[in-house]
Structure 1
Amino acid sequence: MKKGIKTTISVAALFAALTVSAGEERTLSLDDALSLTMANNPALRAAACEEKAAEQERRAAIGLRMPQIGVTGAYAYLGKDIGVDLNEMKGPAGDLANKILGSGLVPPELVPSIQGLIAPLMGADWFLKVQDRSLGFVGGQVTVPLFLGGKINAANRAARINSSTARAAGAQTRNALVSELVERYYGVALARQVVAVRQQVVDGVRRHLEDAVQLEKNGMIAHSERLYVEFKMTEAERELANARLQLETVTDALRNTLGAQESDFRPVTSMFVLTRIEDAAYYKELAGRHNPLLEQVELKRRLAVEGVRVQRADFMPQIAAMGGASFYNYQVTGILPRWAVGVGVSFKIFDGLNREYKYSAAKQTVRRVEALQTKAGEDIGVLIEQLYNQLDNYANQIASIDASIDFADEYLKAKSTAFLEGMASSSDLIDAELNLAKVRTERMQAAFNYDLALARLLEAAGISDEFSGYVRRSDARPILFDE
């Protein structure tokens, strides 16, 4: 709990530091960007809700083992009272009484008294009421599952698997967000550098254009050379506008990942390239143990196995204990018992082969998931190999571009000297400047591609949270535009 409070406080402090005043540019390190993303990204909040829902479903499945207790109440008004009607017996009973009294077996002096006693009985209603037409009761019942063929155990195992699947999906979301953040964070850094380069080019070409106008007036250069500089000026301004639009786009994307929509961020963590990295087999082995996608496929296979067990349970008898009692009765006959307990058994003999086909379908599902699991493992291995090769390729590009930069820098110096001595035209100087800016930008683009490929490699290996550790490695060489 204390750790969670500290994390919340640190994120709040980070937000406070980043929001000093509206419209102000904020510096943002990659570690701070990761903290903001993990605290505020909506995708992570959705994944957390999914994990909590799966955990509640797991707890709900435990209740299947518990007694089911319910309370019921009812009131009824019947069409008539329930009882036995003996009025049809009055005639035969009266005839029998008269015969006995007239047979001489009863002393004559007692006959009037006996007839006086029988007369009210013969005039009464011979309906024996058992239950009044108006009745009500409040009672409860308890059902305890004793044996359901393994369905309860399978349901609990399935709920635990679903909970683990939700956690794996959350881990996959977090890993994907790290790759997304690296792409957008360094994308902003690259776009800002491109804008700066394009601005420098515009400023440089504008100075050359001013010089070209003066030189043309003095007859030192041809009109076509001045037109060439104007063409380059128009081209540089167009590329600057495009670079600014690209910067706005990637900045909006970064805000979306960070979950902070009101700020402009300036990345301060440099792009980098590693001089040494583990071999591809290392990352493949990590993927087998940590890749959330492979974990989810394995969990789906286990869930399919539980589906087979559920279908197999339909071939078993279903046994449950039950009991009930009445707590309060209104005009309910005392003949009825106030409580009852028992055991119920249900066993399906034949259902049109429905169970057999469902059981067979469940087994086919297991085989299908196993085949998909094999393919997913192979696909992840191929992806790691591809990303690893891309890392090598981008590292080699950077090494090659470094040599090109040295040449472009020396070429620009030579053209500058020649221009000052009148041995080179302004167009030659502009081309040399543009070429140096182009090569430096290509190196930054290669570094961006390298870092993005590394983030995706770590994502495939299931260790995206270690990206910051790679940034801080001793062999991580920062890639700067003007180095």
Structure 2
Amino acid sequence: MHINISRLSILFIAFAWFNPSVSMAQQLDPILKELISKGMDKSHSINIHHFDTEQAKVDQRLAKAVFLPKITFNGSYVRLDDDITFDVDTQNLLVATQKLLIKEAVGIPFNDPFPGNIQLTEVPNLQNKNILKSSVDVDWVLFSGFEATNAIKASQHKEASLNYLGNTEKDKIALKIIETYDKLALVSASKRVLHTSEKYLNEQEYYVKKAIENGLATPIGRKKIELAQQQLASKQLEFNHNKTLLIEVLHQLTGENRENLALLNPQLQSFSIESLSDTEKRDEIKALEEAEKATLYKSKMEKSNFIPKLALKGHYEFIEDDLSLLDPKWFVGIGIKWNVFDGLQSRLKSKKSIIESQKYREQIEEAEEMIALCIIKAQLTYESSLQNTKIVDKEIDLASATYDMIDKQYKNNLASINEVLDALNDLEKANFKLQESFFDQRRAVAELLRAKGILTNFYN
């Protein structure tokens, strides 16, 4: 999307700056808001936080997947050196038993010989030497002893913590873009000051030339004008270099086309808001609180290692021919696993997680203290910036009146060209100092909003 500076946008911006009742979001240049949005999309650090969040979501799905049945298909072929059979005595016993049963069935007396015309069944092998198996196993955790449940909750709080950390990174990116954009506006303001100085110097050059022609001035005055013009040209070159560098920084932060950025002409105006009483909990604090909760659930998860686990086990053989006499074709069972003593590993891991949560608690308290101090400091800086702007306004009035007075005196041959140039230089410095005060004022407001945790409302 290209950035077009339309007349409507310029009118909107001017209205936003000069109308004190405009909301915070409206005070921000819509072009700048678009650059911030592009910066959010381009930022590598924000994208990394996004991937970390996605990993936390995957961890939750992995924990939930513990309760899904696991189905495994198995296949194998084994060839033994020989069939596994009963020993000779056992085989003879089985054959004798078979003969007795047959005699009883056909009514042959016990002591009569076994008829030769009746065929006996061979004693089967315990296991044939060629074994081909194909089966399916089902493993289904019915109760994990709350281990999976606590793991899910730990991952959820970790995800929330990462989301809040991502928001803090967004604030940092927004502040960088706003500051760079304002620096570009400050550079543009310096160009306007230089243009005004150029106009004044050209006017003075005209009067010096006339004065020399009438014998009222010496060529030294013209040389001084020429030196001032050279100094002005040096400042104009510095302006071009600064603008090029800032455009490159904005390009890297936002990915916006350099040609479009070169067309920007941001303006610096007094930046103030009616009320700063609203304060929200900073995302940094929220991130630490969520991380603390995650470690507490992690500790519970590790303690859950001592709670009995309940699981279902199922097995089914597709090929029955190669099963041994002792192998079942299928079975289903429910088992309990109870870890009674694991060498204190679970207890120590749980204690380690508790200590980690205590560290987060200390970080939270430290951060709250630092934020309270930052709010006071930012508030004082903001108030000082407003007062400084008022002082600079007075300096401009004085410098302008002084220049007008000395300029009239010079035209009436009552002041030297040096005095005129000095007065012009003072006026130039005062005008640029006002732009710097606007820049400082905007920095103070942005830092105060960030300290109060409401910066996101400012650029969204």
Q: Report TM bin, short chain.
A: 0.7 to 0.9
Deviations 1:192-227 (A, max 9, x none): 111232244345446645765775687644565555
Q: Identify the match of residue 247 of structure 1 among 243, 246, 249.
A: 243
Structure-to-structure mapping, 1:217-228, within 5 angstroms: 220-221=216-217, 225-228=221-224
Partner of 2:272: 274
Match of 1:287 among 280, 289, 302: 280
* Distance in 1 (alpha carbons) for counterparts of 2:36 and 2:273: 29
The amino acid that maps onto 2:286 is: E
Alignment of 1:304-453 (within 5 A): 304-328=295-319, 331-333=322-324, 335-453=326-444
Aligned partners of 1:463, 1:298: CA distance in 2, in Å? 18
Q: 1:190 aligns with which of 186, 190, 198?
A: 186
**SS of aligned partner of 1:342:** strand
**CA distance in structure 2 between the aligned counterparts of 1:347 and 1:89, rounded to whole angstroms:** 42
Q: Percent identity?
A: 16
**After the TM superposition, which of the residue ranges 210-219 and 43-52 deviates more from structure 2?**
210-219
TM-score normalised by the chain length of structure 2: 0.79
Amino acid at match of 1:138: S
Alignment-mate amino acid for residue 322 of structure 2:
Q
Give the distance between the partners of 1:136 and 1:267, measured in 2 at CA. Answer: 81
Structure 1 pair 77–199 and aligned structure 2 pair: CA distance change class (3 A): same
Which AA in structure 1 matches 2:424? E
> For residues 158-212 of structure 1, what are the alpha-carbon distances to aligned partners after superposition, in whole Å with 9 as ceiling and x for unaligned?
1211221232123223333332232122221111111232244345446645765
Structure 1 residues 18-417: aligned runs within 5 Å: 18=4, 30-39=29-38, 41-43=41-43, 44-64=46-66, 66-86=67-87, 128-202=124-198, 204-205=200-201, 208=204, 212=208, 220-221=216-217, 225-262=221-258, 263-264=260-261, 265-268=263-266, 270-274=268-272, 276-278=274-276, 282-283=277-278, 286-288=279-281, 291-328=282-319, 331-333=322-324, 335-417=326-408
1:436–1:211 Cα change, 3 Å: same
Aligned partners of 2:139 and 2:311 also within 8 Å? yes
The alpha-carbon deviation at position 458 of structure 1 amounts to 1.6
The 2-side partners of 1:275 and 1:78 are apart by 86
**Which runs of 5 or more residues in structure 1 are unaligned?**
1-14, 21-25, 95-109, 470-483
TM-score, normalised relative to structure 1: 0.76
Unaligned ranges ≥5, structure 2: 14-28, 96-111
In the alignment, residue 416 of structure 1 is paired with which amino acid?
D
CA contact (8 A) 1:62 1:156 kept: yes
- Say whether 1:457 aligns with 2:448: yes
C-alpha distance 129-334 of structure 1, shift in aligned 2 (>3 A): closer
Measured in 1, the distance between the counterparts of 2:407 and 2:396 equals 16
Q: For residues 32 and 357 of structure 2, what CA distance do their matches in structure 1 show?
A: 42
The count of corresponding residues between Structure 1 and Structure 2 is 421
**Worse-superposed segment, 299-308 or 244-253:** 244-253
Q: d(CA) in 2 for partners of 1:136 and 1:221?
A: 117
- Residues 37 and 259 of structure 1 are in contact (CA less than 8 Å); yes or no, is this contact kept in structure 2? no
Secondary structure of 2:133's counterpart equals strand
Amino acid at match of 1:238: S
Change (3 A) 1:330 1:443: farther
Q: Which amino acid aligns with 2:140?
A: V
Match for 1:31: what amino acid?
P
Alpha-carbon separation, structure 1, partners of 2:3 and 2:424: 39
Shift of 1:364: 1.3
Q: Distance in 2 between matches of 1:292 and 1:223?
A: 66
CA distance in 1, matches of 2:241, 2:249: 13
TM-superposed deviation, 1:396: 0.5
CA RMSD of aligned residues (A): 3.6
- How far apart are the structure 2 equivalents of 1:168 and 1:374? 17
Amino acid across the alignment from 1:266:
L
